[in-house]
Structure 1
Amino acid sequence: MTKTKVMLELPDGMIEMGKELKLKCKSLKDIPPHKSRQWRGGEDNKLLCYDGVTIDSQKYKEEIKSSTAYELTVEKVSESDLQCPYACRIGFDIDQKFLNVNEENFIHMPNRNATNFIYERQNGTFRLSFELQKVYPKPVCMVISNGASKNLTVTDEVKSRVLLNVTYGLESDEPLHKCWEPITIECLIGKRTHTITTEHTSVCQTSQPNEETGTLTSGVAICLAFVMILLMLILSAIYIWKRSMTSCGDIYVKVRRNDIGL
């Protein structure tokens, strides 16, 4: 078996969007000056660099590292730079490899906390739905409610070249919130935790009275009961007083009549 004279080395660390990506090309022997150097790759597998001259000096830069190795730097990595082949050539010798991204070498957090967020109550059921955009790998999300966690279900998933737009949903007979406190959602993206907090005061106002309101209602009811009892006691006292006054009047009249008769 003939041994390859040129070897392409892909990055072995974590790849991050917006950062640089380095590809290294190595030769078993010193590279003669008269032999050309080429780089190909990217989304369209096009020529990127020829003998140090790149198609875009802001995007690609070649550097000779030694007599047997040279390196191509891809600036500000975008999605189109990933999940595609790359090749380096020295003269007629070439090595090509596929830059495959996975959970071990690539992570991208969502641009924003959440989009299309919905939290509502319909026919006694609490419904939660939201979307995470441009994320990788696919997050595992849960909502934290009253100290307990409930897993969210993926209801829709759209993939571009690498990144994902994922929609989550959950329906519950119990509220997923505490009144006047934001809803807390935790998503595990690779080995990182992404926390989302969202306000929901409109749902709280229309669906569930809080503890303070319940306490206030109970207090008002007790006060009303006390006032009613007090009013009944006052009316009873007035009635008894009037009866007493009537009895005293009758006795007085009888005494006067007896005095006159005598």
Structure 2
Amino acid sequence: MIFPLKCVIFQLAYLHARGCANLVLLSKPVTFGGKVQLACTAYETEIPLDTQYSRSWSGGPDNKLLCKDGISADVSKYKEVLGEDYSQYILEIESFSESDVDCEYKCVFGVDTTRTTLKLNEKDYEYIPGKDTTVVTSSLQNGHLNVNIFFVKVWPTPVCEVIFERINFGKRMEMSKRKNGKLYSANISLKHVFRSDFCSGDMLISCKIGTKTIEVHRKQFNTCPVNVKNRNRNVISEKALTTLIIAVSMFVVMVCIILLAVLLKQKGYITSMFEVLFGYPSSAFIGISTLKKSYIRYVPPQQHPV
């Protein structure tokens, strides 16, 4: 009679002990590639079956022992740290990857045992793609705007928008996705037709992935053609500019000569501008003109008969 009673008491105490531990995920949202924390909290029991309170963590991809009393089985991957007090210990998982998700993790704290499964969902997990796993192509020809974005891996489903010349085309984008391992591969595209002469503008692509918004791509389009009429206008403009430069240069030279002549005349070095322009005084020029006129008007004297 005494033995069955002891068995009942032990079973009740064991069930009570099992109900006094809790395992929760502290890192929300979980970012793939980052650090994840699992907290194991044990509460006091009326019958302390193990006063040493030994701790152990197990589970993961291979369902094996991960950490025992602070000693890690893989120091580069797992580490145990003290929580708020001695009733809480935290398991840190470094470089969280796809293989670490959808796995069961178990914490044993004294006689208290608790477990949880890190189930992949679109609320608590995020995989932010890098530039090396993102492919963007875009073009603007004859008013046809084409944009395509491809994420090799992403989680959760991305919500992207294209802003072109302050117009948001987010609601006009089409997306397709498929499973790539445990995550997604996603393809987002946009096709829009403007006027045929629409050939330039600024474009910005951004995507919201979980709780984070990232800039994916930025581009300035300028595909406007240069027609023959514009080319002829450019040639005419260049000739007109050359002519204007020559005319201004000649004008400046003439002004400089006049100013120089005025200055030299004031100093008494010359008597007129002719000495600057032709190298001899104006009096010589006047003398030559007078001589020419007198030569033209000369009439020989009449001879009288004897």
Residue 67 (structure 2) aligned to one of 24, 43, 49 = 49
Paired residue for 2:193? Answer: 173
Q: Match of 1:7, SS?
A: strand
TM-score by length of 2: 0.56
Deviations 1:8-54 (A, max 9, x none): 22216432334322222222336835564321222233321233332
The answer to whether the 8 A contact 2:202-2:219 is kept is: yes
Contact map agreement 2:23 2:41 (CA 8 A) in 1: yes
Query: 1:139 — aligned with what?
Result: 158
The structure number with the bigger radius of gyration is 2
Is the partner of 1:217 in helix, strand or coil?
Answer: helix
> Larger RCO: Structure 1 or Structure 2 (Cα < 8 Å, ≥ 6 residues apart)?
1
Instruction: Answer yes or no: is the 8 Å Cα contact 1:15–1:105 preserved in 2.
Output: yes
Aligned match of 1:10: 25
2:129 alignment partner, SS class = coil
Q: Does 1:24 align with 2:44?
A: no
Which deviations, in whole Å up to 9, do the C-alpha atoms of 1:170-227 show, x marking residues without a partner? 222338xx746553212222343222335476xx54xx53xxx479639849x8xxxx
Q: 2:230 aligns with which of 182, 204, 217?
A: 217
Residue among 74, 89, 108 paired with 1:70: 89
**Taking structure 1 as reference, are residues 115 and 37 closer, same or farther at Cα in structure 2, changes over 3 Å only?**
closer
Deviation at 1:97, TM superposition (A): 0.9
For 2:138 and 2:29, how far apart are their aligned partners in 1? 36
Summarize the Cα distance change of 1:64–1:125 in structure 2 as closer, same or farther, 3 Å threshold: closer
Which structure is higher in helix share? 2
Pairwise CA distance, 1:134? 3.0
Equivalent residue number for residue 117 of structure 1: 136
Amino acid of the structure 1 residue aligned with 2:131: R
User: Greater CA deviation, 184-193 or 31-40?
Assistant: 31-40
Question: Which residue identity does 2:217 align to in structure 1?
Answer: T
Residue in 2 that maps onto 1:37: 55
Residue 58 of structure 1 is matched in structure 2 by: 76
Alignment counterpart, residue 154 of structure 1, candidates 164, 172, 175? 175
Q: In the alignment, is the contact (CA less than 8 A) between 2:51 and 2:110 conserved in 1?
A: no
Gaps of 5+ in 1: 224-262
1:85 offset after TM fit, Å? 1.8
Counterparts of 2:108 and 2:167, CA distance in 1: 57
**Alpha-carbon distance in 1 for matches of 2:76, 2:112:** 28
- Partner residue in 1 for 2:205: 185
Mind listing any 5+ residue stretches in structure 2 that lack a counterpart?
Answer: 1-11, 237-306
User: Number of matched residues?
Assistant: 214
* Letter aligned with residue 26 of structure 1: T
CA distance in 2, matches of 1:47, 1:179: 63
When structure 1 is superposed on structure 2, of 165-174 and 32-41 the one drifting more is 32-41
- Judged with a 3 Å threshold, the aligned counterparts in structure 2 of structure 1 residues 126 and 31 are, in CA distance, closer, same or farther, namely farther
